[in-house]
Structure formats: C-alpha cells, structure tokens
A = this chain, B = another copy of it.
Amino acid sequence: MQHLLRVGVAGLGTVGLAVLALLERQAAGLAARSGRKIAVVAVAAKETRKERGRDLSRFQWFDDAAKLAASPDIDLFVELIGGADGPALAAIEASLSAGKSVVTANKALIAKHGMRLAALAEQKGVELGFEASVAGGIPIVKALREDLAGNAISRVYGILNGTCNYILSRMEAEHLPFAECLGEAQRLGYAEADPSFDIGGLDTAHKLAILTALAFGTRIDPDAIAIEGIKDISLADIDAAAELGFRIKLLGVAARTSAGIEQRVHPTMVPRSSAIAQVMGVANAVTIDADAVHELTLIGPGAGGEATASAVVADIVDITKGLRTPPFGVPVAALAPLERAPIPMHEGGYYIRLSVYDRPGAAAAIAARMAERSISLESIVQRRRPGEHGKPAAVPVILITHATYEKLIREALAAVVGDGFVAEPPQLIRIERG
C-alpha cells in the first residue's frame, strides 16, 4: 500500500464536519478501495475556537484557507467555504497552482469560474472534482461525465433545489399558501432567512449551468438561463394541476433544440405518473434523455451534510485511485461556446390560468385568440367558483395547450388581455413531458 493521502479541508460547517466524520468512519473501506490510506491532516476555518462538538485538536490548523491549499503538508485540498469568489476562489487557485487536486461542493463558484479553474487543473495535470456541487448525494456529475460517455444527450432536467420542492410539496399536501409553507421551511431550517436565492430559482440556475456544460460539451454560461421562481404559484394552480393529472415542480431544464441550447428554470407542470412527480419534500431528482439509454432518472438527497459529504468523498477516492479526466469530461479547449436558444422559440405545452369576466362570448374570444396562432388546446376547464351564486365578476378558466412556441402563447395572452376579458394577469406555467 502506498503512503497516506493527506487531505486538507477548508470550511468546517455541516458539510466539512460530515466529510471529516465519513473519512474517519469509512477509513478501512476507503483504503481498501483506493489502495492507499486517506486521512485529513489539516483544516482551515474562520473561527478556530468555535465549539464544533468534536475534538479537532489533532489537525494542523490554518486561519487562511489559501495557505492550507498551498501547504506542502497536504496532497489534496477540499474547499467547503462557499461563496463564488473571495477566500474559496483564492484557495482553489492556490491549490491548483501548487499542483494539488481540488474537491469542492461550491456550485456558485463552479458556475462562475468553472471554465477557468478546469483549464488550470488540466494545465497543471491535476483533478478538479465537483460532484457535490450539484444535487448533493446524487452522482449526476459522474453520470454525465462518465456513465453516458457513449450517448448524445438531448435534454437534462430535474428538481435541483430541495427548499422549493419542500414548499411545493407542502402546499399540495396541506393545502396551505406559499407564504405559510415558506415560513414553515424557514422554521425547520430548510430555507434561509433571506430565501430569495432558493425560491427565486438562482440556486437551481447555478446547478443547471454546470449540468448543461457536462451534458452538451458546451462552455458554462449561467447568464444564458431564463429564470422564474415559485413565489407566484397559488393554491389555485396546485389544485388545477392535480385535477388535470399534473404536479408542479421547480425544474431546471437544459435541452438541445434546433435554435441552440435552451436553459430554463421555472415552475413546471410534470405528468403526475412520472417518476419525477413522485419526488416530494427536500429530495432532488435529475432525468437525462439520451440517444442510447433513452431515459435515465436519478433520485436522492439534494442537500444535507452527510449526503453532500458522500459526493465529496467519492471525488476524493476517485482522485486517490488515480482518476485522470478533464473536469468537464472533455478538455475545456474542446467545449463549444453555448449557443443560446431564445426563450420565445421554446416549444412545449402550456398551462394557462385566466380569471375571466363572465360575459357572453368571452370563452369564444379566448379560443379565437389561440386559434389565430394555430395554438391547439388539449383541454379547457371553466367552472363557477363553489359557493358563489348569481353572476360572479370573474371565473377561473384553465387551458392546457398542445406543443406550441412561447412567442405565440405570449402574443395570444397579450391579445386576450387586450380584449378586456380577464380580471387578473394570466398565469402561465410550462409543461415538461417525459
């Protein structure tokens, strides 16, 4: 057996402590797998004296993560500080520059600097592992980078944010409005005090940007993502979804289309019978459409200390065993620029919820606005609100369209609004089918 692989860990939050625990707990098994013992020898954390519930005195301590990263006393650097720039970036650069492989769980950083860092790793002949940066314990990075090497991938999509999935699951299960479920998620620690990063879709977008690069062999481009969050999803939408055989999920979707690569993050109607629709609570799921395997779905924990640590440890073991792979599957120089498909060219089905003044001719006028643009309807549901008598001011009308272009739907809805038949702005939710 070769000499010890000495690991340095920067960042001792939930994930950092879980990595220390896993490497210790599985030490014998990891040595058998790697042909080499693996042990943490040094750590870096801002607060060195903070009580962390375990004895960390045997490690060499650094207050500067970059110093740990460049230290000759470690062979591999694990970055768990977080943040797209600042100390995390400085430390990773220091490690790669010193010819040491890096493992990170930092999605924001990889989404922003992944291309440059991967190129640096390639140049230095070392590895940059970021399995933990997307979908926690789900091995989606390796699936795209290695398992599907023989496939041309046409679409990758999934539930990549547990906070949003928890909220949407609770809205449906308890029939409680968004704000209340968000508050509950915050009390349970599933959502931050400022939840905008999760519920606004940005967290999902970072992860999607990474998946897109791996799936399509394109350069990461997080700015080329159309992003909508979940805050405007109402119980009326949740109910209508259930009635029409759908469930609402915040999805990240990347697809190769004739107009380029489409990257979207938005609340989505998925068929209730799909595997992804069954994923409730904080779990994550990713589905890949590819020419040889047709469809592959991975479901698992998207967050949490131990689940994320599991992905970090898998990267460490791969690197210890001598894995040699460009971080994005192919060398950065071989990644194509991402040609962005404009969202108006998106082709798919749509769910539309309108609040329609109950006047003669309203339904016919709406249908005509759709027909003018060759938008065909799969279903129309119009129903007087229960408990209301007489002529209400407005009634909900739900439309499900067959596949059409987003440009046409937007035009049709603008025309409907212009006709003066609707009492509120229309709700529009894209449908994603398996």
- Which residues of A are in contact with B by a Cβ distance under 8 Å? 18, 22-23, 25-26, 29-30, 32-33, 131, 137-139, 142-143, 146-152, 217, 273-275, 278-279, 290-301, 304, 306-307, 309-314, 317-318, 321-326, 329-331, 334
Contact = CB atoms under 8 A, between A and B. Distances in A.
Nearest to A32: B330
Nearest to A322: B324
Given A33-B149, A142-B142, A294-B304, 15 more contacts: A22-B292, A131-B147, A139-B296, A146-B314, A146-B318, A149-B314, A150-B309, A275-B275, A275-B299, A293-B300, A293-B301, A293-B307, A294-B306, A297-B300, A299-B299
Contacts of A148: 139, 310, 314
A298 B301 contact: no
Secondary structure dominating the interface of A: mixed
B149 A293 contact: no
Q: How many copies does the complex hold?
A: 2
A104 to B, nearest CB: 16
B306 A293 contact: yes
14 contacts: A23-B150, A26-B151, A32-B334, A33-B326, A138-B296, A139-B146, A142-B142, A142-B147, A293-B300, A294-B300, A294-B307, A297-B298, A297-B300, A298-B299
Contact of A275 (B150, B278, B329): B278
Contact of A29 (B23, B32, B149): B149
A245 to B, nearest CB: 14
Given A273-B278, A306-B292, A33 B330 contact: yes
Contact of A149 (B317, B331, B334): B317
A417 B139 CA distance: 49
Nearest to A131: B147
Contact of A313 (B29, B32, B150, B331): B150
Contact of A279 (B18, B275, B325): B275
Nearest to A278: B275
A281 to B, nearest CB: 11
B26 A152 contact: yes
Given A278-B274, A330-B33, A137 B310 contact: no
